[in-house]
Amino acid sequence: MALDESELKNYVEAARVASSVREIAADLVKPGAKLIDVANAVEDEIRGDGAKPAFPVNISVNDVAAHYTPKTNDAAVFGEKDVVKVDYGVHVRGFIIDAAFTVDLGSENGKLVEAAEAALSNATSTMKAGVNVREVGAVIQKTIEEKGFKPIENLCGHSLGEFLLHSGREIPNVARGDYVLREGDVFAVEPFATNGAGRVEDGAYCEIYSLINMRNVRLPQSRKVLEWLAEECETLPFAKRWVDEKFSEGTASLALADLRRQEIVRDYPILKEINHGIVAQAECTVVVEKDACRILG
């Protein structure tokens, strides 16, 4: 079923904002720059342009594939030879554009970055109504492997729904899956390429959460944080530093620990390549049409 006019209008507006975000982020990712400054600039641009972040900007470096967002007062800076993935989301009334790009600061991993970008281009060229996602995954896998690297097999693209970053369907990065694409499906397509083993595992660092189960809580500080999250973020992921800014670091830490213990929020630890391989990512959001897919942003 094709998108209706109002849905498409929201996606187009989110894509416009996402385009300006990419330009700003690409200019700021430089050796010696602070990751927190890039994150703040990206999220401020989204909010200042009339949209909202669909999730905290991920700024994942080298063997970290995903889910690194800076903490409050984060002192981390980009190194001279870092490979930096900037993964950002924009939503307008719940309609999400999810996009990412990789910056090779040392100019030593250009072929790895090209592998991810070529895989994305070839994947989106393959997508149309009636195509099995296994075929799309096979194209991603073949493209990356032919360039001498490995796709990360336990990461994947995902369908997008209204206020849902992952709405149940996957675009695999290897030849796997059985879902057949339908007209009107909206997907984030995100190949990951690595010179490592081709798998990721959870790391210890975690600054991203999402609300998964709204219910009454006893502690007053937890209740205040929960009410704010339900109104501000709904079901979309949020950064602990956002909660720090609204309340305080102490209140945020106590409340999130309490809410996590009660399984009201879930956490998203960083994802690291298991053999410490360097990871590159490319991503865009598409809508599936009868004879092709339309790149939204």
Supply 286's token pair.
């598409």
| Catalytic residue annotation | 87, 98, 158, 166, 190, 283
d(CA 61, CA 64): 5
Nearest to 31 by CA among 54, 57, 61, 8: 61
Of the candidates 43, 154, 124, 48, the residue with the CA atom closest to the CA atom of residue 89:
43
Count Cβ atoms below 10 Å from residue 157 Cβ, excluding itself: 28
Query: Which residues have CB under 8 Å from 28's CB, separation 6+?
Result: 37, 38, 41
Closest listed residue to residue 233, CA positions, set 92, 40, 52, 70 = 52
The amino acid occupying position 107 is S
